Chains A and B, each alone.
Chain A
Amino acid sequence: EVQLVESGGGLVQPGGSLRLSCAASGFSFSSYWMTWFRQAPGKGLEWVANIKQDGSEKYYVDSVEGRFTISRDNAKNSLFLQMNSLKADDTAMYYCAREVNDFWSGRMFDYWGQGTLVTVSS
């Protein structure tokens, strides 16, 4: 059974840092792109960042470029999101998800974690 379990969220002051983790199990982690999403309270879904299987390619939404860093440890089946210079607008539930690339259907997200809440407030 595929499982994704996020951790590391919490309350942080503006300008502070947090490191989120996502522990993966039940599939060959090193074979998949992995992605972070977020959802502000009462708002919609936003793609944040993703990373290629071997970590050689990383992409970010403009609003976090230069502040957030996505990484992975395939030996430990883990995905990370280092978040620096946090702003109130970064307050959200953060989800990790597995990205599937199908030749005919394109790319989609088939498994999601339960999320970890990040609150940026003084």
Chain B
Amino acid sequence: DIQMTQSPSSLSASVGDRVTITCRASQNIINYLNWYQQKPGKTPKLLISAASSLQNGVPSRFSGSGSGTDFTLSISGLQPEDFATYYCQQSYSSPRFTFGPGTRVDIK
């Protein structure tokens, strides 16, 4: 099974900060990596697919990069609505999937 890890597990940041979250796969997943945002009490929202493809309607301050085993999600100019938990998810082993444990972004 492909294991996904994320770091940090949580972070505190201020509005306007640049935030970077790292996701690592236990084996090469090429670019089959998606990012989701989940706000408290809400359902996950797909932000980025294929490591770096921004979904329609997602603000351009979100960006993704990486390939192989190491990936990053960056938020440039953090906004109040961005405080949430972010999950990476690999689809290399589809039709089975695994998520990272999540990174919670809190207000400093």
Which residues of A are in contact with B by a Cβ distance under 8 Å? 33, 44-47, 50, 57, 59, 61, 95, 102, 104-110, 112-115
Contact = CB atoms under 8 A, between A and B. Distances in A.
Contacts of A47: 96-99
A45 B99 contact: yes
Given A44-B87, A44-B100, A46-B99, A106 B46 contact: no
11 contacts: A44-B99, A44-B101, A45-B102, A47-B96, A57-B95, A104-B53, A106-B49, A106-B94, A107-B91, A109-B36, A109-B46
Given A61-B96, A107-B91, A107-B94, A44 B102 contact: yes
Given A45-B44, A107-B94, 5 more contacts: A45-B99, A61-B96, A104-B50, A106-B32, A112-B44
B96 A112 contact: no
A57 B55 CA distance: 28
A102 B49 contact: yes
Contacts of A107: 32, 91, 94-95, 97
Is the interface on chain B under 10, 10 to 19, 20 to 34, or 35 or more residues?
Answer: 20 to 34
Interface string B19-58: 0000000000001101010100001101001100101000
Nearest to A95: B43
Given A50-B95, A102-B49, A112 B43 contact: yes
B29 to A, nearest CB: 9
A102 B105 CA distance: 29
Contacts of B36: 45, 109
B91 A106 contact: yes
B96 A108 contact: no
A45 B99 CA distance: 6
Contacts of B98: 47
